Amino acid sequence: MQTAEIRRRWLDFFERKGHTVVPSASLVSDDPSLMFTVAGMVPFVPYLSGLVPAPYPRATSVQKCIRTNDIEEVGKTPRHGTFFQMCGNFSFGDYFKEGAIRFAWELLTSSEDEGGLGFEAGDLWVTVYEEDDEAHALWRDIAGLPEERIQRLGKDSNYWSTGQPGPAGPCSEIFYDLGPEYGVDGGPATDDDRYVEIWNLVFMQYEIAEVKSKTEFAVVGELPRKNIDTGLGLERVAFIKQGVQNMYEIDQVRPVLDAAAQLAGKAYGENHADDVRLRVIADHVRSGLMLIADGVTPSNEGRGYILRRLLRRVILSMRLLGVEGPTFDRLFPASRDAMKAAYPEVERDFDFISRTAYSEERTFLRTLAAGLQILDGAIEAGRDASVGASGAAVPGDTAFLLHDTHGFPIELTLEIAEEAGVSVDRRVFAELMQEQRDRAKADAKAKKGQRADLSVYKELRGLGETAFVGYDELNHESRVLGIVVDGRPAPSAQEGEIAELVLAETSLWAESGGQDSDQGLIVGDGFEAEVLDVQRPVPGLIVHTAKVRIGTVAIDARAETRVDPDYRRGATQAHSGTHIVHAALREVLGPNAHQAGSYNKAGYLRLDFTHGEALSPETRSEIEEISNLAVRSDYEVVTREMPLDEAKALGAMALFGEKYGERVRVVDIGGPWSRELCAGTHVSGSAEVGMISLISESSIGSTNRRVESLVGIEAFRSFAAERAIVQQLTGSLKVPRLELVQRVGELAAQLKAAEKTIARLEAAKLGERVPELAAGAQRIGPFTAVTASLGSVGSADDVRGLAQQLRERLADEPAVVVLAGEASGRPVLIAATTPSAREAGARAGALAKLGAGVLGGGGGGKDDLAQGGGADPAKIDEALAEIRRALAG
């Protein structure tokens, strides 16, 4: 049974049972505490927790999920994957344990001809929480399972909670027995791989508090509305129904594995280490495909870093299989074809997906080449020099540098080193890795402590959805429904306090869709509050953070929201300007230039877009001109509300990876010239935007660029400031405006020539010291050594040139030259050696590194010539003394 067919049967079954079919949410989670959607229940948390009233009594979904906490286990076990699909059925105060168990048993054991999954009852085991007699009895009565196949387990495995005070409850898990050839008898309680968990039923029925750990908490009572949250692992069911050994061999994953094996010239199933790498490749390519399809692009932080790590692990695994060139052009199309039946968007958006992936591969292959040079150098140095105390030729800090900076897993470093016949200091590497983990853990803990407790908004959201009326009116009278002070509900807020105010309606825009929140006031009888921020902490609820300037604001008070008209005008100019710049970008660069994010506020806009190379000055000017021509043309700006499908049929552009509801707002500027889905505030005609001035264009990743622009009065002020600067320069240089660039160029050329002359004279002056310095050479051990402080010097190049001249003067001797000086307030040190000195054991790189350590910096280089630096010129004499002691030893 194909994976897409299992998915279809799941949705059809629960739809027949009265569940609303909810499409999969994005892999990018709305929950601020989560980077990705990590479980099928994540999109339903506001309903399960009661934070937001559920729009339906029961629902079902097949949710895309990403988890990377067990990434090192991928490929080694039958069921660890970074991307997986969780089938779920949910009840929000509707059916409970009996309904959930009855549905699960019917779907699993009904024949395939009847639309079920066709499992044999004799192959299924269940576990229940050890104190849940009700669930135990239901499984016995509904499923007819014998007592020995209903096992009771403790809180650590069969009790669900978020780890925080709130909803919790026992759960029941369903397992499939693979058979005696896979392990020992005894059921899931044995924790043996023979028993595969395929479905978990969570009975959310209690409120818990005083949470100390997963198993230590206090049950304070039953929930007024009991909920059901279940999750069936689609990939796990698929590998059982398809008769294969693991999730990497199912129809949605195996084609990538086969493509990788063919590229590497390997036969899957012949070598365990190669098989693990092939599974890693198949899993990570699919995860990369789905993440990019949901708008994630590679970067060095957050979600983009996770994607980058997955893609780089693919490249490194292919390299360990012997493939050094590009492979994504074979692997990603294979994954696309395997996934498009379930997710058509991967085929529709494959142009963007492939360009993003291929660009990342090209970039990392170049990085990999640079890292290999470092490793080759460390191996060569390890061969030539005596190894460290650990007996390893490649230092642990070098292995860590390769891992942390260049993305080399330690396995790759070990394999290359082993082929070269040298070892790696694993102990130091492990210590550095642990230090990094400790820092990351401390950072994550700190961030977790900063997250807001959204439960404070639960009752407020229950009072109804906050209506935004600011499209049509800037001032609106409403009523205060709730007040939050210092994270807790309060009956009032006093003068001088900062509070969060929730009103029934508001004319103040809450930050969203790239548009910053409005500025303004909330005023009422005897009070006035200045609005500092407006946000939507949970769907449907608008919260105003405000400082009470006058009087006291209380619950149920009448309150008028007043938007600052100048700020709103600037914000609408910037938001409409964002649409105009986006349209101009696409007109110049082509339809592949998708918007990938934006931010705008009064007088300023920032637009991120997909493009692989920097914009030339001519292209920037063209985009700016088209944007301002659109402003001059005074295009009509029309906003309409309509169903999402209708908007897409009209060609309305959606922000790549963004989520939209069933009804959307479409904004047209000049008809189809700019037609986008957007809920923000806009001008009524493009001429109202005023001037658009592009002030910067930069890279924010291998496939993304960013433009920034000033808009309206801010653009004018910027031009006025530049005009004043030009006037000052023309006055000072006494040239007409049109000749200013030429005159500045001439002055720059004259300055550069003067600097070269000065540098030449200073170098010549230093060169005159060669005889004096050579005459002062000392005999230190087997070496003829010149170690001298030069005082103030022009640059490191001057010191290097002098050291090389001295080395030539002493070429017939085992000479070591170490010179140091102060350049631009910082110490610089150069070491040089002759061939006979190197034969006697002197290494310029090691000497430069030693001296630089005393100077508070770093250094190194080749054995014949090296450089070091630092922060403290006062320690130059001490550094030279340390080098002399090393030579003597």
Using only C-alpha atoms, the chain has a radius of gyration, in whole angstroms, of 34
Contacts of 473 (CB under 8 A, 6+ apart): 507
For residue 563, give the nearest of 436, 470, 690, 682 by alpha carbon: 470
Sort strands 475-485 and 558-563 into parallel, antiparallel or unpaired. Answer: antiparallel
Q: Is 517 helix (H, G, I), strand (E, B) or coil?
A: coil
| 194 within 8 A of 205, measured Cβ to Cβ | no
For residue 580, give the nearest of 628, 640, 618 by alpha carbon: 628
| 14 within 8 A of 51, measured Cβ to Cβ | no
Contacts of 395 (CB under 8 A, 6+ apart): 378, 388, 425, 428
Q: What are the contacts of 740-747 at 24+ separation with CB within 8 A?
A: none
Alpha-carbon gap, residue 850 to 834, rounded angstroms: 19
User: Which residue stretches of 385-473 are H helix?
Assistant: 396-406, 410-420, 426-450, 458-462
DSSP 235-290: HHHHHHHTT-SSGGGSTTTHHHHHHHHHHHT--TTS-HHHHHHHHHHHHHHHHHHH
Q: Is 682 a known ligand-binding residue? A: yes
Alpha-carbon gap, residue 656 to 28, rounded angstroms: 12
Sort strands 20-21 and 58-66 into parallel, antiparallel or unpaired. Answer: parallel
Alpha-carbon gap, residue 889 to 884, rounded angstroms: 9
Alpha-carbon gap, residue 686 to 666, rounded angstroms: 16
- From residue 368, alpha-carbon distances to 134, 326, 377, 432 in Å are 58, 12, 14, 21
Amino acid letter for position 496: G
Q: Is 575 a known ligand-binding residue? A: yes
- From residue 596, alpha-carbon distances to 26, 295, 360, 361 in Å are 15, 7, 17, 20
Q: Is 272 a known ligand-binding residue? A: no
Binding residues for Zn(2+): 575, 579, 678, 682
Binding residues: 575, 579, 678, 682
